[in-house]
Chains A and B, each alone.
Chain A
Amino acid sequence: MSIANKANRLTPYVFMAPAAIILTVALLYPICYMIYASFLDWSPSQRIGEADFVGLRNYANLLQDAAFRESFWVTIKFAAVVVTLEMIIGVGLALLLDRNIKGMSTLRTIFILPMMIAPIVVGLMWRYMYHPTVGIFNRTLKSWGFEGIPWLSDSNWSFVAVVMADVWQWTPFIFILSLAAMQSLPRSALEAAEIDGATEMQKIFFIKLPLMLPVLIVTLMLRLIDAFKVLEVIMVLTNGGPGLSTEIVALRIFRTAQEFQELGEAAAMSNTLLMVLMALTIGMFMYNKMQENRAVRMKAAASKGAV
């Protein structure tokens, strides 16, 4: 009886074991490998066993490396700017389009198309649009009688150019999530606000946005994490240039490994980026946990409360 019982309780673990083992290996192995590699002076021509162990030297080098610091700063600037713009535009669009208009569902489908295009293709597409003479932007500007803009060859404009492409591609993500959040808002609370004399604006700021906040925060976190890792579009558009003006960390890592053949250093950079992302993820996780605890507390309080 007790043996059968024990076997019964173990069965689920036995079934789960293969998946768990594969997951652990597949997840942990590359990460451990990368962490280990970041302590090595390692070039691609060596096997990993032949590389010299240099301790924290790669990390120390990073701190001194002005180019890396620059690319770190560019990444943060890029992530902050695109996510802010995308949040404002995405949520704004959702607020505008949250109504029953004919053909709304078609419109929504069109809106999310950019998200479905492969980043490389987005990069190529925008590169043609930014082309100094035949690109649509400069042709239009010139036909209106303005000067053409050096989209990709000026270090200020190139940042604007990559931001625009990213905003174009990822605003729909925020739009879709906030639209879903908005449509699950309690209709009757909005009606009550109307009766209480709230204007459309007041309804948005006092009712809709506060109620959407949990979804908005998770959306923001997801976008932020993604924005820190952006690579392809920028690689195709500017390849980090001109100068270092658009060289985000992911691109820097890629070049450190490919061009400079410094695998150890590249691993150290990756780890630094990983730590930043980890901090963001943990932040998001803690926020979720907080929400859950709150919900549990509310339920407990509600069931305790008399009449």
Chain B
Amino acid sequence: MPKIVLEGLVKRYGAFEVLHGIDLEMEADEFTVFVGPSGCGKSTTLRMIAGLESVTEGEIYIDGKPVSHLEPKARDLAMVFQDYALYPHMNVAKNMSFALRLQRRPKAEIDAKIADVAETLGLTQFLHRKPGELSGGQRQRVAMGRALTRDSGTFLFDEPLSNLDAKLRGQMRAELALMSQRVKKNMIYVTHDQIEAMTLADRIVVMNGGYIQQQGSPEELFKKPVNKFVAGFLGMPPMNFLDGEVAEKAGEIYVEGQDFSVKLSREKADAIRAHSGRKVTLGIRPSDLVYSPDAADEQSLLLNIVVSEYVGAQTVLLCECGGQKIDVELKSDIPIDRNRQLRFAINPEGVHLFDQDTEAAL
């Protein structure tokens, strides 16, 4: 429900600074997903919002009220922990109803709620087991259930689906998506999973090394990454990067490198014309390369196929171009021989350029 604002959030453990000034506004009822490599500070940020870690500098506002001095229980939130954090001595039903029992809700209401949540999570038959008698995935679902029985305004999830198998994960993802549409809640969600991030998020926050790299809608981040890190982090298989140099020939702008020379579209060219001679990185997503034997040299890449990975409807070709690695994604029904040179046309919309030194998008 509430609007949550992080303002210049800094976290230090002793002299070691983990978060370096996080500024973020999460609108009411928004589904925010934090992504980033391991150790970048996602859990720390989440735990600071929850009130489990102290705030070194900066402030957290929930509905305009500074809360960094408040106890977790005064912040009206539920949380799913990365390591489950179940109560080892209570059975599943007791684990999930702990908060409600503390609130002295009527027993009938508690029972109904537990039955309902257990049903959704497929835990009905385990209600009387203790956490020690459950598998990792089952425990994770109990942790999820414990949060879902609460009706707090904000839900914090720290990699809640990481231990489930692919099928169950898909089911739970759909369940979450449904829930976030149905109930008016704030969800803040940490994950490593691209698909979870892309499908669930209203807002994705990409973090790296204790900084926010970029935040915005999934589409915004996918189409207009602000730097090479974000571009390489979102999308599977990841974006290809080719080092080259900006060159101007007869009024047209090219990016030239070992074994390739790509002509830029008019608008891209206008944006970069001033930078002639500059070292840049050309970024192209594997899905923006199209097998096309007759494409013009300046709008295509000639690639040496090294390995072909069959993944069902799609095939990923691991290729090489002038000593640089490059992946291509294409329909499996296109017949491809290995150890051959093939020509792939570049989707002109899919060309990204980054400065080689600053890695910022141009």
Contact = CB atoms under 8 A, between A and B. Distances in A.
B81 A197 contact: no
B78 interface: yes
B145 to A, nearest CB: 13
Interface string A262-299: 00000000000000000000000000000000010111
Contacts of B134: 302, 305
A307 B165 contact: yes
B79 A207 contact: no
A189 B88 contact: yes
Given A192-B79, A192-B86, A197 B133 contact: no
A196 B102 contact: yes
Contact of B103 (A197, A211, A299, A307): A197
16 contacts: A188-B81, A188-B83, A189-B86, A189-B87, A192-B87, A194-B72, A195-B72, A195-B79, A196-B99, A197-B103, A297-B133, A301-B133, A305-B126, A305-B133, A305-B134, A307-B135
A286 B130 CA distance: 22
Nearest to A192: B85
Contacts of A301: 129, 133
B121 to A, nearest CB: 12
Contact of B135 (A192, A195, A202, A305): A305
Interface of B: 50-52, 71-73, 77-79, 81, 83-89, 98-99, 102-103, 126, 129-130, 132-135, 137-138, 146, 150, 164-165, 168
The 5 closest A-B pairs by CB, nearest first: A188-B85, A196-B99, A192-B85, A301-B133, A197-B73
A198 interface: yes
B155 to A, nearest CB: 11
Contacts, number: 79
A206 B95 CA distance: 11
A210 interface: yes
Nearest to B73: A197
Given A197-B73, A198-B98, A305-B126, 16 more contacts: A186-B88, A189-B88, A191-B52, A191-B81, A191-B85, A192-B85, A193-B98, A195-B50, A195-B77, A196-B146, A197-B103, A198-B102, A199-B73, A213-B89, A305-B138, A307-B135
Instruction: Tell me what chain A mostly uses at the interface: helix, strand, loop, or mixed.
Output: helix
Interface string A23-36: 00000000000000
A60 interface: no
B168 A307 contact: yes
A211 B52 contact: no
A196 B86 CA distance: 11
A32 to B, nearest CB: 44
B81 A194 contact: no
A22 interface: no
A21 interface: no
B205 to A, nearest CB: 21
B60 to A, nearest CB: 15
Contacts of A213: 89
Contacts of A299: 132
A17 to B, nearest CB: 40
